[in-house]
Each structure stands twice: as structure tokens, then as C-alpha cells.
Amino acid sequence: MDFSNRLKNLPTQFFASLVKKVAIAVSEGRDVINLGQGNPDQATPEHIVKALQDAAANPQTHKYSPFRGTNDLKQAAADFYKREYNVDIDPNTEVAIMFGTKIGLVELPLAMMNEHELMLLPDPGYPDYLSGAGLANVRFDTMPLLEENEYLPDYTKLTAEQKRAAKMMYLNYPNNPTGAIATKAFFEETIHLAKESDIAIVHDFAYGAIGFDGVRPISFLQVEGAKEVGVEMYTLSKTYNMAGWRVGFAVGNTKMIEAINIIQDHLFVSLFPAVQAAATAALNDSQQCVDELVSLYDRRRKALVQACTKIGWQVTAPKGSFFAWLPVAKGYSSEEFADLLLAKADVAVAAGNGFGKYGEGYVRVGLLVDEHRLIEAIERIKKLELF
């Protein structure tokens, strides 16, 4: 027996190797402060858990879900976008329910592209974007996200051939790993390019709720013409601390939504209805828990930046997401620096090169431990006298 060529072509799972390194250190009895993860550390709000408990006690939720999700959850997604972003969404034709948005990000190339066609991906970017390209056996080119351009791709650097050949483009703001946010002008430029070159846009809005300094992250769909060219992926994992629940949705272009629904008709029978009921409650009920969560991340962000500045580590505060994108010490590659911090300071960070070629020179730090542990991590790093 052997694996299929499709499986052999998949990239190495970056996060799996990171988790293994941390697990080995912990197994040795070391007190590791893990800043390399992207897993929310807070509990799911009680009212959402209660909604699940109540729904799970109802025998009606023990049956198969409708293939394309419950009407209640699709309506809740539409209502959420109207309330939060003033975007009109048709719950019947412009919403696709998913087992978390990673599913949609990986399956869309399978659903919308033919083998060897070209997609454009951000670099640095979420590593699982490459999984979709590998499974669909499509080509991809990367668009550098550089600090001097606020970590936005520079479309003037795309060649005429790339514009002609590209069928799909992925974007992600607030950005993982850089913490950058997008502007309305940038999305307008994106829509113009998409229309001019017939490129489908997929905006990964995983961190859409998390913005700082009074700036609320903009939804791609808020910009005129967005639904004509693309979809936006919204997960409940980050906004409501529901990462393990695996629930999210896509909204936008009807053709792309239908493509997601068709491929999922053949792969799944949608989510456990009780989980969908809990997700409906999350979207519909009070959003105070979201405000409190963003305030928590902001306090951690400020504590991290202040601690780094204190030891001479010159860093830029993230504008969104729960990540900080920090430059490595002079004389080290990203991986060497990350390995050094784990070996000598028992601090785990994610090496920037794991997110792409242009991630070299940085490490990603998650704001997913309390302020005291963040400060302790930087104090440990201070003792290495790297800055």
C-alpha cells in the first residue's frame, strides 16, 4: 500500500513540528511559556455553553442536520453581518455553514479551480492555505507582505502573466501572522483588480473582531462591489473562544457560496445541530463578551510591547489579531532564534519562516497567556542578553 500522489504533495504541517518541540520540552519537566500557539486560552462564554446544553438535551438535535446547515444559523449569520457591518446578506444564497473556516479555505480550490491553474497567496501567510493548493493540485505564486507597505500586498508588483493566469486570491486581515489590518482603499484596489483580471477573492476574516487603538477591522464585504468578486470567511473560534467547537461560515458571492455548498454536500452532513444552536446564540445574543475579550487582548498587547521595549527589543504593536510579529535578534535566523528561546529561556514562539519566505527575520508571538506570564517570558529572554 502507498499514499496517493495527492497526499504526498501536501506540505509539511508547520504547527505539528512546533507542537512536538514544545511537548518534548514539557515532558522533560520544564516550565515552558508557550507563546507559539494560536489557540485561545479563555473559556467559551457561559451563555453559549448553556445554549449547547439546552439544545443537546432536545432529541430533535440528535438527528442529521440539513446538509447546508440550519435556517436559524444562516439567518443569524446574515443578521450578524447587518448589525456589525451594515452588509445585507441573503441567508439562502449567500451563506455557507462550515466545520470551522479552515475547511472552506482548503476546499475552495478543489471546488472552484482546475488542476495547474494559478492562485495567489500572501507571504507570510497562514500555512494551511498551501494545503488547499496541494489537494487541488493547483499552482500558486506568493505576494510579499512587507513592513514598509504595512504588510499589504503591492499589486503593482504582479506581472501581466500573473494577472492573466490567476483564478483565485487569498487575503487575511487582521493578518496572521503580522497583526496588520486592511484599509478601505486597499480593498477597493483589490476589487478593481479582481474585476479587471477575473480573479475570485477569498478574505479570511478569522480575527475580524480583534482591533486596537479604537480602530475596528473592516470587513471586505463593506466595500462596494465585494460580493461581485468574492467571499469572506468568518469563524467563531476567535471571536467567541470556540476554537474546539469547529464552526464558521462563508458569506458573499453566490457562485462561490454554491461551490462550497456543493462540495460539502458530498463530504459532510453539516454540523451537530446543537452546536449550530449554540453558534446561533453566539451571533444573536449580547456581544459584551466580545468587547471584554478584545479589552483583555489589548491589555496583554500593551504589557508585551512595554516589556519588550524595556529590554531594548524594538517591536511594533499589532493593530489587530491576537498575535505580535517581532523581529529576531541580530545574527539569528527565525528558526535559530525560536530554537534558542525554547532551549535557553523555556519560551516557545513560532518561527516566521514557517509562514513563508518573507516571514524570515521575525517570530510570531501569541497574546494567549496572561499578562504576568507574558512579562515573565520577556524577563527570561532579557537574561540571554540578545538586545
Nearest to 210 by CA among 271, 116, 290: 290
Q: Identify the three-state secondary structure at position 231.
A: strand
Percent with pLDDT over 90 in the chain = 94
Cα gap 243→241, rounded to integer Å = 6
pLDDT band at 377 (very low <50, low <70, confident <90, very high): very high
Q: Is the pLDDT of residue 52 over 90?
A: yes
Q: Specify whether 85 is located in the same domain as 34.
A: no
- Least confident stretch, 17-31, 54-68, 148-162, 273-287: 17-31
Integer CA distances (angstroms), 333 to 130, 270, 315, 350, 366, in order:
23, 43, 17, 12, 19
> Contact 349/323 with Cβ under 8 angstroms?
no
Q: Specify whether 210 is located in the same domain as 351.
A: no
Q: Is the pLDDT of residue 243 over 80?
A: yes
Q: Is residue 89 part of a domain?
A: yes
Q: Specify whether 248 is located in the same domain as 100.
A: yes
pTM, whole model, 2 decimals? 0.96
Residue 350, pLDDT score: 96
Q: Is the pLDDT of residue 16 over 80?
A: no
Q: Is residue 58 part of a domain?
A: no
The CATH number given to whatever domain includes residue 312 is: 3.90.1150.10
Average pLDDT, the chain: 96
pLDDT band at 12 (very low <50, low <70, confident <90, very high): confident
Mean pLDDT along residues 3-14: 85
The CATH number given to whatever domain includes residue 266 is: 3.40.640.10
Residue 77, pLDDT score: 98
Q: Is residue 309 part of a domain?
A: yes
Q: Specify whether 146 is located in the same domain as 228.
A: yes
Q: Is the pLDDT of residue 15 over 90?
A: no
Q: Specify whether 165 is located in the same domain as 250.
A: yes
Q: Is residue 52 part of a domain?
A: no
113 is in which domain, residue-wise?
63-284
Instruction: Tell me the per-residue pLDDT of 324-362, one tens digit each, with 9 for 90 and over.
Output: 999 999 999 999 999 999 999 999 999 999 999 999 999
